[in-house]
Every structure is written in C-alpha cells, then in structure tokens.
Homo-oligomer: A and B are copies of this chain.
Amino acid sequence: MKFEIIKEDKETNARVCWLYTQHSVIETPTFMPVATLGTVKTMSQQELRDLGVSIVCGNAYHLYLRPGSDIIKKAGGLHKFMGWEHSILTDSGGFQIFSLAELRNVTDEGVEFSSHIDGSKHIFTPEKVIEIENDLGSDIVMVLDECQPYPVTYEYARRSTDLTIEWAKRCKKVFTLRPSSLDYQALFGIVQGSTYRDLRKYCTKKLLDLNFEGYAVGGLAVGEPKTLTTEMGGFTLELLPKDRPKYLMGIGLVEDIIEFVSMGGDMFDCVLPTRNGRTGMVFTSEGKLVIKNAPSADDYSPLDPGCECEVCKNYNRAYLRHLFNVGEYLGPRLATHHNLYFFMNVMREMRKSILEDRFSEWKKEFLEKYLANSEG
C-alpha cells in the first residue's frame, strides 16, 4: 500500500490523498459502501464500479459464519468470490460480536460468542481474526478491538483500552507472518478510549509504537452526544500522523463526514445510504425525502432534480413510491442506487473543492442547502 498526500487545505485540516492498493487507487476523502456479507445490499458490482466506488467494506465475523472463510479462501479470496476487482477493507467484526451482548464472553485470550445464526459456539482471538482476514484476502485488514459502548466508567474504559492495545500487538505480530502472496495486505490499528481524552491519547501512542499502515478512530457514534463525537474524533485525529490514512469508523451522516474531513479524516463507512435506501428514505441536495409519503403519489419529478444519477435520469417519484407501496424489489434497489450516488458525489465535490482551494466555501454552501430542509 502506498499513501500520497496530493493537496492540503490551507484553512482546515482537510486534504486530498491517493491510497494505492493492489486493486485500485482510492482518492480520499472517500466513502466506503458497506458490503457486510460480500454484497452492497441490492447493488451489483458493475453498478458500484459505475458509481465510482473504489473500495467496499466486508465483515470478517459475518463472512466467517456464512459462507465460511474456507469457501472464500478456496475461491481465491473475497475479490474473486464476489466478482469485485477494486479494493476491499475488512472489519474484524469486533463491533458485531460486542453487539451480541449476552451471547459473548471476553477474556484476555479473545472473545467467545454464540453465532447469531444458529447459536453455535466460536472463539475469536486476534490471531484467528487475522487468519480469517488473510483468507478473505482483503486489501485493508482491521485489527480485532473492543468497541466500547457508551457510557462506560473510566475503570472499564481503561481496562478495555488496554485489551484493545494488547490485541493490536498480537494482530500485528501474526499479520507480519502472513504468506508472501498476501504481501499486498495492509493492517490498520483502531484507536479506542471511549470519551476519555487521556485514554484516547494513551491508546494512540501505544498503537503508533506498533507502526500500523493506517489508523482508525473507533468507538464513535455509539450513542454519545454529537458534541462528544466531534470532540473525541477531532482530538484523536490530531494525534495521528499525517503520513497515514485516517479512518473514522461508522461515521455516515453527510454533515458529520464533512466536519471530520475538515479535521483531517480520510476514510468513512456507514450503512446509512444503503439501509435508508431500503426503507425508502432518500438523500437529496435539498435534504431528505421519505418516498412513501403521500405528496409523492402524483409527483412525476425525479428524486433530486439536481441529480444526474441513472435513477434520477430515468425514474420519477410517483413510480418509486408505487414500487415501495407494493413491495417490489426495484424500489429498495433504485433508492439505494440514488443514495450511494449522492454520497459518492458529495465526496467527489468535496475533493474537488479541496483541490481548488475552496473547501470552506463549498462546505458552507452545501450544508446551508442540505440542512435547510433536512428532517434531521
């Protein structure tokens, strides 16, 4: 992996970088659609390529359970299995396992859990997770971490952060021993520390000592007030080295992405455009639109009059509303397509504004229009 800073904004910490993997060049700031089970829900890989998607996020936990990492390894890795030539980042699935709550048991060794599918028992250790991600053959491998809920006591946060650091160390160690055919893989560390500044600082320092190829800020947008999300994210971003990509995990509201870009964030992922698309909530340049609502019934205009996506060029609101009302597959599909275009387009415009030294103006102008009619 190679990471190159192309342009830095003069007023903020926003920047445009190029991240080279074996499978694509990723222009950052970038949005990575979520492909938990090896598919960005409702979309074909061809459509993702056409939308300019250069990297998607898979999930080791989910793919390990179904279809099984052996099946994917045998295919020659996740790229070949799912027919996707561009880059893939895989999360360890720590977040998913810790969401299981009652179904898991954390020890120093690792985390024992029952499958959310069939209740079968499994244990994820840092070593096991790296082995799975090696099998998947993703371009960017995330370490196993403990994503702390909010709120937690300082005591809990400290212990958990230590565990995350210890696991990062073990991940790094076993990752360096991977077969040479997987040389192209890059390992990213994840900064935890809940909402405690000193723990964030402490965790960052320890991870920097391990020298990862990129760093993620984890444990944000887990229920804390937005001011704390911004504060902790911004604080952590400043501690991270300039010459490495910085990934804000799970940050997906467009307004938050823009804010974190101004603080130096490079990579973002979220289920928002896809999940909301499936329920008929679409993002437009003038805010959000719930397509099922009555005003769309005989509204023959496109979802977003200013949008140039295939959905807005070919279909109208009344048709979309009808598709959702009768439960047709094409509804979620078209809404997801439009939403992803919207996200990819915002990122493209944002990068352009940075390259053209007008990021702050662009940000102001975009947000004014976008938030004016936003339902929140």
Contacts and interface: CB of A to CB of B under 8 A. Distances in A.
Contacts of A81: 300, 316, 318-319, 322
Interface string A303-324: 0000000100011101101110
A-side interface size class = 35 or more
Interface in A59-85: 66-67, 71, 74-75, 80-83
A310 B46 contact: yes
Interface stretch (A125-133, A147-155, A326-334): A326-334
Q: How many copies does the complex hold?
A: 2
B319 A42 contact: no
A307 to B, nearest CB: 15
A330 B44 contact: yes
B318 A67 contact: yes
Contact of A71 (B37, B46, B297, B323): B297
Interface string A322-346: 1101101110111000000000000
Given A74-B298, A81-B316, A333 B329 contact: yes
Nearest to A47: B44
Contacts of A316: 75, 81, 83
Contacts of A325: 66-67
A96 interface: no
Contact of A83 (B39, B314, B329): B314
A158 interface: no
Given A66-B322, A322-B71, A334-B44, A83 B315 contact: yes
A41 interface: yes
Contacts of A75: 298, 300, 316, 318-319
Interface of A: 37-39, 41-46, 66-67, 71, 74-75, 80-83, 297-298, 300, 310, 314-316, 318-319, 321-323, 325-326, 328-330, 332-334
